[in-house]
Amino acid sequence: MPPADHAGPNGPSRRDPLVLWIVAAVLLAARIGTGIYEEKRPPKVPDLVSWEPAETAPARAAATGKPILYDFSAAWCGPCQRMEREVFADPKLSASLSSLAVPVHIVDRTREEGHNSALVDSLQRVHDVNAFPTIVIVGADGKALDRTEGYPGKQEFMSWVTKASVKSRMAPGTPKLMFP
C-alpha cells in the first residue's frame, strides 16, 4: 500500500504515469505483432557479398590464396538476419569480407523442409554446427582455423574475420585445399 500523497502546488507529487503506461502497452503490443510478422516476412535487405558456391569454394580459395569463410545460418534465425542487415547489406563491409576470404553461405532448411541437401549436411557435420549463425574460417589445408557462434555485432565480427584471415595466411598450409 503506497503512502498517502500530499498535493503540492503543481498537483499530486506521485502522479501515476498513465500516459507512459498506455504508450508502453501499445508499443509492447506492436513489438509482439511486428516480431511475429517480421519472423515470417523479414524485411528485404540487399545482399552485397559475392558468395561462392560451396562446390567451387576450395578451388577459388586455392587460386586466390584466401581462406574460406563458411557462414552457417537459417532463415528463422534472428541474429543471422541482424548480421545480414548490418554486414552483408553494407557496401564497405561486404567488400571487405570478400577481400579477406572466399565467403560461402550455407542455409539450414531443416525447419522449413525437414531436411538439408547432402552437401549442407556434410558441411554442418564436419564443422560441428550446433547453433546459428556459426562462422568457420577454413585454412589452405582444409582445416578449420577459427570459429565463432552467434553474432557479436558488426565491429567485433569484422575484427574477428580480419584476425582469423591474417592467421590463416600466416599459417603454414598445404598448397592444395581439401574439401570441405
Partner 1 sequence: MNRTLIAAFLRQRMTSPMRVGLMMLVTVFPLGAAILMNSLSALGGMAGPLALILAAGAIGQDVSSGTLQLLLVRPVSRPSVVVHRWLAAVIGAMGISVGTLLLGVLALLARGTHPDLMDLSRMVLESACSAAGSAAVMVMLSTLVGGLGDVGLFAAALIFTQLLVGLGTLEHWDVLLRACSEVQGVLSPQLSWEWMVHRMPPSWFAITSWASTVTLALAVGIARLNRRELSYAAS
Binding site for partner 1 (CB under 8 A): 2-3, 8-17, 20-21, 23-24, 27-28, 30-31, 34-35, 37-38, 43-46, 78-79, 82, 85-86, 89-91, 130-131, 149-150, 153, 155
Residues β-bridged to residue 124:
none
Q: Are 139 and 180 in contact (CB under 8 A)?
A: no
| Burial tier of 82 (Cβ tally within 10 Å: 0-12, 13-18, 19+) | middle
Residues β-bridged to residue 106:
72
Measured from the CB atom, the residue of 92 and 176 that comes closer to partner 1 is: 92
Separation CA 132–CA 79 (nearest Å): 8
For 102, half-sphere exposure in the C-beta direction (CA atoms, 13 angstrom radius) is 25
